[in-house]
Amino acid sequence: MNAWSGIGRTGTSKTQWSEPLTTTFAKSAPPAETAELFGRMTLARQFILAASAVLIVGMAIIAFWVTSRIEESVTRNAASATALYVDSIIAPLTQELADSDTLGEGARLALTETLGQGVLGDKIVSFKVWKPDGSVVFSNQTEIVGRRFPISDRLQGAFAGTVQAEFDKLDSAENATERAKGIPLLEIYSPIRQPWSGRVIGVAEFYEIATDLKADLNRARLRSWIVVGLVTLAMLGVLFGIVARGSRLITRQAEILRARFDELSRLLNSNRALRLRAEQAAHRTAALNERYLRRISADLHDGPAQLIAFACLRLETATKGSVMGPDLETVTTSLEEALQEVRNICHGLMLPELDDLETREICMRVIKAHESRTRTSVEFTCGDNLPELNQAEKIGLYRFVQESLNNAFRHANGIGQKVTVVSSNDGLSATVADGGKGFDPVNADKGLGLTGLEERFAGLGGTFVVNSSPGHGTIVTMHLPGGRDA
């Protein structure tokens, strides 16, 4: 319909306003990249894109609905006014239809003169009188008088007693002449009634020139679109202001959180570096301690042990061939026991070369040395796929098994000695158990040995636990997160 041309121009301006944000944006990138770019936009920009599309569609739907209601109302009011005026003139001239299927000559001449001059002659371009069977009994188009046409919905509604109207929709077969005129027409169907009974005896159809009505409708449509558009823009502006404010707040908070996250990441990296330095320092300390113990062992072996051995040799030479006195015999015995004790201390302090030994071999070496020195037996269980250990961890494992077996021999007389080494989910676990009388680990003095082991494994990032109770033996467990570089 031509009346919608103004609305089309208004809609085009909206499309041009949103083109840079939506259509051009979608054409410049495939859907996946478009979604990614949309996700990187601020909330305010996402809102203006989504809300613009939704509100424009909603505005168009509302505007079309409002304008259609306006057109219907204006058309109905105009038709009712015209029909009332025409009916007051035509009804008295067409009462013959109540008893006849045709109009007399006098009625036809009166209708022709009345509708062809004056105000009606200037406004009405075509006129028809219909009978209920769909035949035309009178018209200013003589060629259709007497013809029967399909009854349209509008015509049927008029025969039902209501005024019907249509604006500029000349699509029926009997509208050929009206369509050829090429001007906007208001098609009105007005029922013709008997004055005393109110029965509809016919329908008067006339076509009024509706140039002014079309202009009024166009102005009403344009004003409706402008009002709806301004209200929509006002709603969009208010909502955008609220969302933009929230978006700025969220953006500031996100920047603050990002700065705090970066600071936290920097602190975590710093802590991680400090932890690695502490572990490396612990490893170096363990290695230094072992070298220090090795030097003490060498000094004891080369110093006091040699002197005691020399003293024992001289005593043996001095007393050879004579009867030893009780005191001299006691001195000799004490020197021999002291010599053996110094040698045991040296042997305990001296750490074998562990660089080329695997975990199983380290444990076997400690166990064999313990069995040889104490004349006791140790049950040994070793799992498969043991993790690789660095130098400090190998030393820690060696000292753990050595100290735990020494305690088992000293406090449990070597009863039920068991060593178990297995691979765990995140490293290596080792257990040394005995069947002695046990003790209370809460109140008992751990001594230098257990305290040193606890500190050693804490420096290695592992754990050291002592479980014991009176009458139930003792179980000592350590765990190392193995597999790290030396």
Residue of 180, 195, 229 lying closest to 63 (CA atoms): 229
**pLDDT higher for 213 or 234?**
234
Say if residue 19's pLDDT is above 50: no
Q: Which long-range contacts does 297-306 make (Cβ < 8 Å, 24+ apart)?
A: 297/345, 297/346, 297/347, 297/349, 297/350, 298/346, 298/350, 300/342, 300/345, 300/346, 300/349, 301/342, 301/343, 301/346, 304/342, 305/339, 305/342, 305/343, 305/346
% of the chain with per-residue pLDDT over 90: 10
Q: Report pLDDT for 13.
A: 37
Residue 273: band (very low, low, confident or very high) from pLDDT cuts 50, 70, 90: confident
Rounded distance between C-alpha atoms, residue 452 and residue 282, angstroms:
13
Q: Which of 104-108, 162-166, 234-238, 325-329 has the lowest mean pLDDT?
A: 325-329
Residue 323: band (very low, low, confident or very high) from pLDDT cuts 50, 70, 90: low
What's the one-letter identity of residue 282? A
Residue 477: band (very low, low, confident or very high) from pLDDT cuts 50, 70, 90: very high
Instruction: Tell me the average pLDDT across 19-38.
Output: 54
Say if residue 261's pLDDT is above 90: yes
Q: What is the per-residue pLDDT across 55-66, written as a single tens digit (0 to 9) for each?
A: 788 778 877 787
* Highest mean pLDDT: which range of 87-96, 293-302, 443-452: 87-96
Instruction: Tell me the average pLDDT across 308-319.
Output: 69
Instruction: Tell me the average pLDDT across 440-462.
Output: 76
Q: Report pLDDT for 417.
A: 93
Average pLDDT score over the chain: 76
Q: How many CB atoms lie within 10 A of CB 348?
A: 16
* Highest mean pLDDT: which range of 80-84, 176-180, 385-389: 385-389
Q: Report pLDDT for 264.
A: 93
Q: Report pLDDT for 381.
A: 92
Say if residue 421's pLDDT is above 90: yes
Across 98-122, b (16+ Cβ under 10 Å) vs e yields: eeeeebeeebbebbeebbeeeebee
User: Which two structure tokens, joined as six digits, stand for 204?
Assistant: 């008067």
